[in-house]
Structure 1
Amino acid sequence: MSSPAATDPASAATSAAPASAPDPGRWRRIAGTALADVTPLRSSAHFRRLWFGQSVSSIGQQMTALAISVQVYALTKSTFATGLVGLCSLVPLVAFGLYGGAIADTMDRRKLGLFGASGLAVLSAGLAIQAFLGVHQVAVLYAVVALQAVCFALNAPARSSMVPRLVPAEQLPAANALSTVSMNLGLTVGPMLGGVMIGIWSYQAAYLVDALAFSASLYAMWRLPSMLPDTAARGASGTGPAARPRASVLDGLRFLRDRPNLRMSFLADLAAMVFGMPRALFPALAVVLYHGDASTVGLLAAAPAVGALLGALFSGWVGRVRRHGLAVAIAVATWGLSIAGFGLARHLWLGLLLLAVAGASDTVSMIFRNTIMQEAAPDDMRGRLQGVFVVVVAGGPRLGDFESGSVAQLTSPTVSAVSGGLACVAALLLLLARYPGFVRYDAHHPTP
């Protein structure tokens, strides 16, 4: 007796099809799992506005950062003076980053974010005015950089600590990846636009665009609901204990003291940024090694961000990784080796490629470090830990600017880049020897 499949033409055709017939939806499914998960943007209008506003303002901020760096080097012809820009912002970032995080745990984070973003917009307008007036005093630029660091240190902890209140817990890795996309979109587009504007017009164009770009961030903050920390919100509503009168910076540091994996995540990034950050070398390398101009500086500054942006855009795989600590360690080691290779490169295309690899590695590290921190911190401690995160993420590169600029002044930009990358790897190995449990960190059974 014949089977139904043998007498059914459709079934027969299916049976006759080769087993290896291409699946037209296969590559779409692969791309869907590789690309960044945009679920937080679809599900939360507040997160979507905050993300867009931060993306636009980040582009303007990076234009200003490049313009200040190029302007200082043009006035002084000194890599040390250029690296000193980072030191001018380091002290305010450390002091106010910790304090700003503590403030964010005691007041409406929306208001604090608005205050910080407004200050940054005013300072960018001030930079445009000094450029239009032809002041061009290095001391003025240093002072504005320090004040920008204060405003950023107040704004960033408030903004970051709001994210777990805007999206569900299961969407935090995706939200962190999207935040990294936003940041690196600014780091990619900002320097390139800044280099073009400086080359075609002048510094004031970059500064002015930055001031206008902050309107998007201010609008997003304005539309947010009140964001009181959990303890303050319970006290204000009368449904729980009263809010603490103040939040101590020391509370956040004590919280880290007994959490080695969380502490190690900060130290690993410090090793990468302090020893392996070559940003202050870009103006000198663009002129001396690559015989370029401000546009070449923009390319060098944008290359790590291009890699970081690509790393974030193709971050769909991060949700399937359990060993977050091991992923951070591999990413930091890759960053250091890439920077050392960049110092040895003699062709612009190769240098840009290695910087892009370093940027992609930094994105992977940041996604997992941020997720580890958000999982370990209760809501009324997030501001303080975000303050520490700001000090590490924003302060580390500025200290790295000073370190690389000083070493380059004593030796050469090439020696500074190579030695910095290798020192990053050496420091990471020492840290892993001190905290061996970090590489065994399991996201399914987190141990902060």
Structure 2
Amino acid sequence: MSTEGTTQRKRGRALLESVVVDTRPLRIPAFRRLWLTTIVTAIGSQLTAVAVPKQVFDITQSSGWVGLSGAVALVPLLIFGLWGGAIADTVDRRKLLMVTNTGIAVTAVLLWAQAFVELNSVWVVLLLLGVNQAFFAINMPTRNAVVARLVPDELMPPAVALSSTMATFGAVFGPMAAGALLPVVGLPVLYLVDAVALIFTLWAVWLLPPLPPLSGQVRRAGLRDVVDGFRYLATQKVLLASFLLDIIAMVAGMPRALFPEMAERTFGDPPGGGLALGWLYAAIPAGAMLIGLTSGWLTKVSRHGVAVVVSIAAWGLSVVGFGLSGSLWLAVVFLVLAGASDMVSAIFRMAILQSAATDEMRGRTQGTFTVVVAGGPRIADVTHGWAAAGVGTAAAATGGGVLVLVLLAVAVLLLPAFWRYRAPRGQDVTKN
């Protein structure tokens, strides 16, 4: 009887381990400290992510202007994302993180100041947003490359899953907190909380060991380094295809520029902001977080190409459902499904990236990844914002989802090698 009970417990433990996220990377002190700060800063950064488009909409009363904020954020991402990745490959990554995190904190303080004194200048908001995103574009690939130096190769995918889960945790509860706090404390406080939260990140980065290039050669990054990164990526055909599919999903299908207008005019939020706005911003990350917490089952999937294509198709269908929704809660359900689909796609695309990049190119490949992942939604902000100004928010969202499905079908027909792509032998989503 005791033997049977022991067997059942082992089976239950094995089942649990096959579902929940792998926590072994947290045994590494440096990674654990960096990961813990992600919990705080993820929520703070999402408060600003809600505050900026909300303030722009309050000043202009136009989703077109909200979309323009996406274009303002896109330009520094394109420039500094690629260049920042090259810098991360040629200098001490710890020092670079200190500089960029300080820059992000300073711009957060300035955003709070302009809101506190009620400048009501959309151009000041957009200027500070652009500077903030320039620092972010250098910080993100550097941070990702740092993680690869802190944990061994076999723990890299679970480390990425842990970081992504905490980022989505902040993306869920940050917008919900923003929606609840806006009517009570006002918009300036959201910026201030973000600035204070960044102090925790500076503390964790300060405690990191020095992280110079493995070659030992610290030098200034130039245009040639960026070009070398593109040449390297040109040899990675499957990786390029994964970037293209993500661009299709995000540029055609991300409807977040519509959230401020829909929250107020479709779902009944008061003019100062309310819970509907928070739920709309939180729903996609909520779906992603659910997948992150239960990502163990994904290790059994070896056909990574098929997994990416199917998940992007599910994203497109979910966005169509969102656009056709007449109630807030139905819209939230479809956005949660969209977020879950996007997280599955992201996990497999990151697994493909990890199998291709060497350390001396990791900053540049992560820079390109940052441009694609962060830049695509910002282009969508522009297209969806101006489309909504012409045809309305419902048509803009629904049409975007349909366009995802059409472009995805064309891409799969033109790139059959990606559909056939499997994980290298001996590798799955959580093991190299």
Q: TM-score, normalised by structure 2?
A: 0.93
- Identify the residue that residue 6 of structure 1 maps to in structure 2: none
1:253 aligns with 2:230: yes
Cα distance in structure 2, aligned partners of 1:297 and 1:225: 41
The equivalent of 2:23 in structure 1 is 38
Amino acid at match of 1:100: G
Q: Distance in 1 between matches of 2:309 and 2:160?
A: 18
Which deviates further from its counterpart, 64-73 or 434-443? 434-443
Mapped contact 2:86–2:221 kept (Cα < 8 A) = no
CA RMSD of aligned residues (A): 2.0
Deviates more, 1:164-173 or 1:277-286: 164-173
Distance 1:278 1:332, change over 3 A: same
Q: 2:404 aligns with which of 424, 427, 436?
A: 424
2:250 to 273, 282, 298: 273
Give the aligned partner of residue 69 of structure 1: 53
1:292 aligns with 2:276: no
Q: How far apart are 1:400 and its partner, in Å? A: 0.7
What is the CA distance between 1:412 and its match in structure 2?
Answer: 0.7
Question: How far has the Cα of 1:337 moved from its partner?
Answer: 0.8
**Superimposed CA distance per residue, residues 299-343 of structure 1 (whole angstroms, 9 cap, x where no aligned partner):** 100011111111101111222321122111111111111001100
1:112 aligns with 2:96: yes
Task: Write the distance in 1 (CA, Å) between the matches of 2:360 and 2:14.
Answer: 40
2:354 to 374, 385, 389: 374
Q: Which residue of 2 aligns with 1:240?
A: none
Shift of 1:26: 4.5
Residue segments in structure 1 that go unaligned for 5+ positions in a row: 1-9, 237-242
| Cα shift at 1:176 | 1.6
Superposed, 1:338-357 pairs within 5 Å as 338-357=318-337
Residue correspondences, number:
422
1:74-118 superposed Cα distances (whole Å, 9 cap, x missing partner): 111101011111110001100110000011111011111111111
**Structure 1 residue aligned with 2:430:** none
Letter in 1 for 2:329: W
Match of 1:165 in 2: 149
Q: In the aligned structure 2, how far is the partner of 1:244 from the partner of 1:132? A: 39
> How does 1:325-404 map onto structure 2 within 5 Å?
325-404=305-384
Matches within 5 A, 1:234-253: 235=217, 246=222, 248-253=225-230
Pairwise CA distance, 1:30: 2.2
1:245–1:64 Cα change, 3 Å: closer
**Native 8 Å contact 1:180 1:367 kept in 2:** no
2:172 aligns with one of 166, 188, 191: 188
Are 2:105 and 1:121 aligned?
A: yes
Structure 1 counterpart of 2:287: 307
In structure 2, distance between residues paired with 1:271 and 1:124:
31
Distance 1:183 1:106 in 2: 27
**Corresponding residue for residue 163 of structure 2:** 179
Q: How much does 1:24 deviate?
A: 5.7
Q: Aligned partners of 2:79, 2:54: CA distance in 1, in Å?
A: 27
Match of 1:434 among 414, 417, 427: 414
Partners of 1:245 and 1:54 lie apart in 2 by: 28
Residue 25 (structure 1) shift: 5.8
Q: Deviations over 1:135-192 (max 9, x none)?
A: 1211011001101110001101111012221112111221121121021012111111
Q: Distance in 2 between matches of 1:380 and 1:205?
A: 41
- TM-score normalised by L of structure 1: 0.90
1:53 partner SS: helix
User: In the superposition, relative to structure 1, how do residues 34 and 115 fare at CA in structure 2: closer, same or farther (>3 Å)?
Assistant: same
| 8 Å Cα contact 1:260/1:435 also seen in 2 | no
2:165 partner amino acid = V
Residue type of the alignment partner of 2:345: S
1:97 matched to 2:74? The reply is no
Asked if the contact 2:91/2:220 (under 8 Å) is kept, the reply is no
The runs of at least 4 consecutive aligned structure 1 residues that moved more than 6 Å come to: none
Q: Give the distance between the partners of 2:252 and 2:197, measured in 1 at CA.
A: 32
The 1:342–1:252 alpha-carbon spacing in structure 2 relative to 1, beyond 3 Å, is same
Name the CA distance, whole Å, in 2 between partners of 1:352 and 1:345.
9
1:214 pairs with 2:194: no
Whether the aligned pair in 1 keeps the contact of 2:259 and 2:281 (CA below 8 Å) is yes
Say if 1:41 and 1:48, in contact at 8 Å, map to a contact too.
Answer: yes
Contact 2:276 2:328 in 1 (8 A): no
Specify which of 66, 80, 102 is matched with residue 64 of structure 2.
80
Deviation at 1:124? 0.7
**1: CA distance, partners of 2:102 / 2:221:** 26
Question: Residue type matched to 1:167 in 2?
Answer: V
Contact 2:283 2:336 in 1 (8 A): yes
Distance between the aligned counterparts of 2:370 and 2:324, measured in 1?
Answer: 31
Indicate if the aligned counterparts of 1:173 and 1:318 stay in contact, CA closer than 8 A: no
Identity fraction in percent? 43
Q: Does structure 2 conserve the Cα–Cα contact (< 8 Å) formed by 1:114 and 1:155? A: no
d(CA) in 2 for partners of 1:342 and 1:25? 42
SS at match of 2:296: coil
Task: Give yes or no for contact 1:113–1:159 (8 Å, CA) kept in 2.
Answer: yes
Can you list the C-alpha shifts for 1:241-270, whole angstroms capped at 9, x where unaligned?
xx7975611111111212210001111111
Matching residue's letter, 1:206: L
The unaligned stretches of length 5 or more in structure 2 are 428-432
Aligned to 1:227: 211
Structure 2 Cα separation of the partners of residues 421 and 339 of structure 1:
5
